Chain A
Amino acid sequence: MEFVAKLAEGFMSLFSAGGETFMGWVTGIIPTLVCLMTAVNSIIKLVGVEKVENFAKKITKFAVLRYTLLPLMAVFFLGNPMCYTFGRFCEEKYKPAYYDAAVSFVHPITGLFPHANAGELFVWLGIAQGLQQAGLSTGGLAVRYFIVGLIVILIRGLLTERIYASMIKNK
């Protein structure tokens, strides 16, 4: 009898540990997240996607902007996965490179702007939460994640553009 009781207790403890983690996330993450996302979503609705699109069309011909500002705007205003539709403003030969740049930014942006990809927050939050538990602040890390993200998508865009060009030539 005692053995069964111990077993049941052990079984329940597996889930009470999970429950504590869950509670910590719900109370620690969601309230701020909800307000931040509502504010940013409102701004996006007030600006309107059309204005962003008109601006996006103008910058696709500059290589550096095509793989930095364009994906940044697309991810910020449209989020994942609609941000890839901005590929239609690029010339055909740049589309794979643009996709590579845009998709590589859907996680680095979440440190500062979680609304853009709220369904995949835990790439960032998983690590950030751990650091917070260790008593460290994550603001600086979020900014650096964002900046390094921009540098990385520029490199990815430029390199994928070259690789795609040579593949098309040798087809």
Chain B
Amino acid sequence: MYNTIKITAGDGGWGGPLTVTPTEKCHTVLSVTGGGIHPVAQAIADMSGGVAVDGWKTTLPDDEIMVAVVDCGGTARCGVYPKKGIFTVNLMPVGQSGPLAQFITPEIYVSAVKEKDIEVLGEAAEVAAPAAAAAVADKGPKTKEEAKAEIAAANEGKKQGFVVRLGKGVGAVVSKFFQAGRDTIDMVIKNILPFMAFTSTILGIISASGLGNVIANTIAPLAGSLPGMLVICFICSLPFLSPILGPGAVIAQIVGTLLGAQFAVGAIPAQYALPALFAIDGQVGGDFVPVGLSLGEAEPETIEYGVPAVLFSRMVTGPVAVLIAFAFSIGMY
């Protein structure tokens, strides 16, 4: 009997969820995880009703592999099976990476999978007729039960040696470091550099065209005093303005950079830096309240009343934040 199963990405994982249905021909879970059958591969086989085989010992025709389970840090294996069109489960938290990255898609690939990420959806629609199954069992290479018993025997006799375990441990740590580096570079290229490009262009135009002096003469007196900052913060946190000013913190970032230029030339005294950081940010997240609340799995009613609650609260806590920051900057610079 075969079951359709669903495999979702684990913590830090990517891709999926995959819905996999075994068939009479294609019900093998290939475990390509450094020798032996990995518990995740075994769990997939058990829940779906398929069999798990050790990819280091045997190979199968591609069309008999239902799912390939790999523990790839992001170079080769994680791309090989998706390229062949085989559902791929990676135990490592790796997204689209490696030379075969373009074949790794959420439809066919899921990563950081643990046993708890697998669930049974229901019985497979096309269960082979008993007669047919018996016929296959006669001439087929092995029945499921036989294969399972064989695997159990093979796994039992083989306690992993110390060197293998050490190697795997080191490999796991190194692959996490590597993935951390990849995440960082991704972030720099996708978010930080584009923002720098756009802001430095604006700043360049402002400073070279003489607009900078105009801004210095208008903003600086306002931002260079406590009452001025309280006014800025209060305006930013007005409930009808804060959702408009919020998105991506773009406005706060640009204003921060413009103020930075004023601090650089001494137009605003340095002791106002800390209150300024809070003054320009009274609207933070004002645009994101419903999304943020639904990420926290809040009920619709909570969202309905939560949005105005947060926005109104800001009109008080925004200026209060500036005052606290002002008190804390005493003795600095």
Q: Are A99 and B204 in contact (CB under 8 A)?
A: no
Chain A contacts for B314, CB-based, 8 A: 100, 156
Query: Closest chain A residue to B266 by CB distance?
Result: A134
Per-residue CB contact flags for chain A residues 94-120 toward chain B (1 = under 8 Å, else 0) read: 011111101110111000000100111
Q: Are B256 and A122 in contact (CB under 8 A)?
A: yes
How far does the alpha carbon of A38 sit from the alpha carbon of B179 in the complex, in Å? 9
CB neighbors of B among A20-34 (8 A) = 20-22, 25-26, 29-30, 33-34
Chain A contacts for B176, CB-based, 8 A: 42, 45-46
Q: Are B196 and A126 in contact (CB under 8 A)?
A: no
Stretch at the interface among B54-62, B132-140, B317-325: B317-325
Q: Are B249 and A107 in contact (CB under 8 A)?
A: yes
B291 within 8 A of A: yes
Chain B contacts for A39, CB-based, 8 A: 180
How far does the alpha carbon of A38 sit from the alpha carbon of B176 in the complex, in Å? 10
B253 within 8 A of A: yes
B129 within 8 A of A: no
Q: Which of A18, A29, A93 contacts B204 (CB 8 A)?
A: A18
Q: Are A130 and B274 in contact (CB under 8 A)?
A: no
Q: Which of A17, A123, A164 contacts B249 (CB 8 A)?
A: A123
CB neighbors of A among B245-275 (8 A) = 248-249, 252-266, 270, 273-274
Q: Which of A19, A99, A130 contacts B292 (CB 8 A)?
A: A99
Known A-B contacts A81-B291, A130-B261; the reply to A14 vs B204 at CB < 8 A is yes
How far does the alpha carbon of A128 sit from the alpha carbon of B183 in the complex, in Å? 25
Q: Which of B204, B257, B313, B332 contacts A19 (CB 8 A)?
A: B204
Q: Which of A49, A102, A131 contacts B11 (CB 8 A)?
A: A49
Q: Are A119 and B187 in contact (CB under 8 A)?
A: yes
Chain B contacts for A120, CB-based, 8 A: 248-249, 252-253
Chain A contacts for B297, CB-based, 8 A: 85, 87-88
How far does the alpha carbon of A73 sit from the alpha carbon of B176 in the complex, in Å? 20
Known A-B contacts A14-B205, A22-B196, A45-B176; the reply to A123 vs B306 at CB < 8 A is no
Closest-CB distance, A169 to chain B (whole angstroms)? 10
Closest-CB distance, A170 to chain B (whole angstroms)? 10
How far does the alpha carbon of A151 sit from the alpha carbon of B274 in the complex, in Å? 14
How far does the alpha carbon of A20 sit from the alpha carbon of B249 in the complex, in Å? 24
Known A-B contacts A121-B192, A126-B260; the reply to A95 vs B296 at CB < 8 A is yes
Chain B contacts for A38, CB-based, 8 A: 177, 180-181, 184
Q: Are B12 and A95 in contact (CB under 8 A)?
A: no
Q: Are B184 and A99 in contact (CB under 8 A)?
A: no
A8 within 8 A of B: no
How far does the alpha carbon of A26 sit from the alpha carbon of B194 in the complex, in Å? 11
A127 within 8 A of B: yes
Stretch at the interface among B28-36, B157-165, B279-287: B279-287
Chain B contacts for A87, CB-based, 8 A: 292-293, 295-298
A76 within 8 A of B: no
How far does the alpha carbon of A32 sit from the alpha carbon of B259 in the complex, in Å? 23
How far does the alpha carbon of A24 sit from the alpha carbon of B120 in the complex, in Å? 55
How far does the alpha carbon of A55 sit from the alpha carbon of B204 in the complex, in Å? 47
Query: Closest chain A residue to B181 by CB distance?
Result: A38
Per-residue CB contact flags for chain B residues 196-226 toward chain A (1 = under 8 Å, else 0) read: 1101111111011100000000000000000
Query: Closest chain B residue to A52 by CB distance?
Result: B11
How far does the alpha carbon of A52 sit from the alpha carbon of B321 in the complex, in Å? 29
B185 within 8 A of A: yes
Q: Are B309 and A122 in contact (CB under 8 A)?
A: no
B residues at A contact (CB < 8 Å): 11-12, 93, 173, 176-177, 179-181, 183-185, 187-188, 191-193, 195-197, 199-205, 207-209, 248-249, 252-266, 270, 273-274, 276-278, 280-281, 284-285, 288-289, 291-293, 295-299, 302, 305-310, 312-314, 316-317, 320-321, 324-325, 328-329, 332-333
Instruction: Beyond A45-B12, A131-B263, A156-B314, list 13 extra A-B contacts (CB 8 Å).
Output: A14-B204, A18-B203, A21-B203, A34-B188, A45-B180, A84-B295, A87-B295, A103-B288, A107-B281, A122-B253, A123-B256, A129-B257, A136-B270
A residues at B contact (CB < 8 Å): 13-22, 25-26, 29-30, 33-34, 37-39, 41-42, 44-46, 48-50, 81-82, 84-88, 90, 92-93, 95-100, 102-104, 106-108, 115, 118-131, 133-134, 136, 140-141, 144-145, 147-148, 151-152, 155-156, 159-160, 163-164, 167-168, 171
Enumerate the 4 nearest inter-chain pairs by beta-carbon distance, A residue then B residue, closest first: A87-B296, A18-B204, A130-B260, A103-B285
